[in-house]
Amino acid sequence: MTTTAQPTARKPATMAQALTRALRDAMAEDPTVHVMGEDVGTLGGVFRVTDGLAAEFGADRCSDTPLAEAGILGTAVGMAMYGLRPVVEMQFDAFAYPAFEQLASHVARMRNRTRGAVPMPLTIRIPYGGGIGGVEHHSDSSEAYYLATPGLQVVTPATVEDAYGLLRAAIASDDPVVFLEPKRLYWSRADWSPDAPAPVAPIGRAEVRRPGSSATLLTYGPSLPVCLEAAEAARAEGWDLEVVDLRSLVPFDDDTVCASVRRTGRAVVVHEANGFGGPGGEIAARVTERCFHHLEAPVLRVTGFDIPYPPPMLERHHLPGVDRILDTVARLQWESRWTEGRGA
């Protein structure tokens, strides 16, 4: 008599819990994985992502560090060069700025500098983005700095499942990964089975979260739920919006993105980072270069404003919202009619 394995029960879990599980599983499977950062040990991190790891694996493998980001990352570089797999937490996005010299001068260049002889299996976890009422230096979207630094992989999850899968992939990588964690999604919930074999999400692969035919919303991280909400609201206006979650900013999945835009003929890039010099400009350029003859309107952007992050009471005006996205989609329609009127 044969028995059929019962499916593992799925239950609500938060993104923070998925990240904790990813760290725990990686540490249990590989003794070279070390977690380090400010308050990651006894406290379990400001957002409790490392909660319980020090008790389970000891202070030597989940280590509290001094408040010195450049020193933290510099130490991690040495650890990676000597065969360990450090996972560094920078606590808040803008706290990583003092460590940027280490990142640009050594983390991103070591493998190239040594002609591949010295890998750099280093994961840098950075909670980023707004939406939590944080003050200056606690809500930045600094991804453009990392995108402009050759030698880094840059990924950001927007779902519970991807939080686990992408972090496992980042830790397993022999190249450095900047792992951007959307702070406002830490407590988002989804049905998830932590006991089932969870796939390691491939770095460099985007995902279509909602199929559509009228236009494509290209987004990532904290802006994904906003885009999905906007896509539902757009149905009342007769628009069927496709939503693509980029997940990986470097390497960039041109194939999935361009396949979507070629189907819909229109695209809007949505992210919290400022518009000028932000990731949306590069994304729009790539789409335009590769999909020019399929576009019925210019690629548009909905972004944060070109200002330092505002005080908490004003952040709702700064962050891309449903109304701003719908206004931009309406502009796409106008741009399409204008193009048709010119006989294009």
Closest listed residue to residue 312, CA positions, set 183, 134, 140: 134
The answer to whether 329 and 270 have CB atoms below 8 angstroms apart is: no
163: tokens are 């939080």
The answer to whether 85 and 32 have CB atoms below 8 angstroms apart is: yes
Question: How many C-beta atoms lie closer than 10 Å to residue 245's C-beta?
Answer: 25
Q: How far apart are CA 275 and CA 307, in angstroms?
A: 10
The answer to whether 223 and 229 have CB atoms below 8 angstroms apart is: no
Give, as one character, the DSSP assignment of residue 107: I
The answer to whether 152 and 176 have CB atoms below 8 angstroms apart is: yes
Question: How many C-beta atoms lie closer than 10 Å to residue 337's C-beta?
Answer: 11
The answer to whether 77 and 106 have CB atoms below 8 angstroms apart is: yes
Q: Which residues are catalytic?
A: 138
DSSP string, 276-324: TTSHHHHHHHHHHHHHGGG-SS--EEEEE-SSSPPPGGGHHHHS--HHH
Amino acid residing at 99: A
Q: Cβ neighbours of residue 120 under 8 Å, at least 6 residues apart? A: 77, 80, 81, 107, 110, 111, 174, 175, 176
The answer to whether 80 and 119 have CB atoms below 8 angstroms apart is: yes
Distance between first and last Cα of the chain: 68
